[in-house]
Structure 1
């Protein structure tokens, strides 16, 4: 019984500890990180890829907002994107059989009060696309890849911003 109880206690403790990592929103929507994320404004990013990334970012940032209310902006997230298609598999007759879509973002988190750049980083993701005989199907696959990449890159940016805001909250002792 003692061994079984110890294993149950260990099993219950493991998910909570997460190898020493706290969840991003530790403390819920009232935590400094969640409030900080809710106070991040994202200016328009040019292009369809920019529209997709900005929507994905705003979706993720608003999740942190208590009751869905947006806080008055305290930070600005400036994003520059580089979206490219690269031919991977070239067949004997010079037709392309596979492409890779690469989406890279350079982003800066700026404190609106001081103008200080709190974070200057890059995030990127890529996806393989099969090029099929139907041009329409290939374009649709490229579009789906871009939508998925936009979400992935937005996730990566929000994680970095969250870590920056958590370190900042820790430094100011909030």
Structure 2
């Protein structure tokens, strides 16, 4: 009985700092994430990575053809050797990626928010040609998803302020 009471008190004490700091859930009923959902149209590059980025943005913020806002994203993905074997063959590649985004109202060039998201991923090139190609495609997909998640976080932060 005593340990049950102790756990209840510890939970209350853990939540106490959040109560006074103005913390509000982003996806709560009045949260910024909910108010933006289904209101943003997207313009992304016409590449496989751009398609994957747009799909992730739609998963996180909703899908609309014509929204109250327009999110325009430009992506750049590099590739560099990360590991070289003693036989001088590349066994691992690094894919750094950057996405520059602008959130505006359709027909208005003045940005409501803008930013740049950067991250990286890597893949192994030690297998067969087909395995290496699949690993590269998978790494590019993971990179696009990570960039989309960073963009969503930045938009939510910008709209909450």
**Which residue matches 1:143?**
137
**Taking structure 1 as the reference length, what is the TM-score of the superposition?**
0.76
Cα shift at 1:42: 0.1
- What is the TM-score when the length of structure 2 is the normalising length? 0.81
Q: Is the 8 A contact 1:76 1:111 kept in 2?
A: yes
Structure 1 residues 165 and 38 mapped into 2: Cα distance closer, same or farther (>3 Å)?
A: farther
Measured after TM superposition, the shift of residue 22 of structure 1 is 3.0
Compared with structure 1, are the counterparts of its residues 44 and 133 closer, same or farther at alpha carbon in structure 2 (3 Å cutoff)?
Answer: closer
Note if contact 1:37-1:162 (Cα within 8 Å) is conserved in structure 2: no
For 2:49 and 2:151, locate their aligned partners in 1 and report how far apart those are by CA, in whole Å.
Answer: 15
Task: Tell me if 1:74 matches 2:68.
Answer: yes
1:9 aligns with 2:8: no
Secondary structure of 1:120 counterpart: strand
* Distance in 1 separating the partners of 2:23 and 2:122: 32
Residue 87 of structure 1 aligns to a residue whose secondary structure is strand
Distance 1:8 1:123, change over 3 A: closer
**If each structure's helix is expressed as a fraction of its own residues, which one has the higher value?**
1
Whether 1:83 aligns to 2:85 is no
Instruction: Report the aligned-residue RMSD.
Output: 2.8
Whether 1:104 aligns to 2:98 is yes
Report the count of equivalent residues.
157
Alignment of 1:25-104 (within 5 A): 25-28=27-30, 31=31, 33-62=33-62, 70=64, 73-104=67-98
Distance 2:52 2:130 in 1: 21
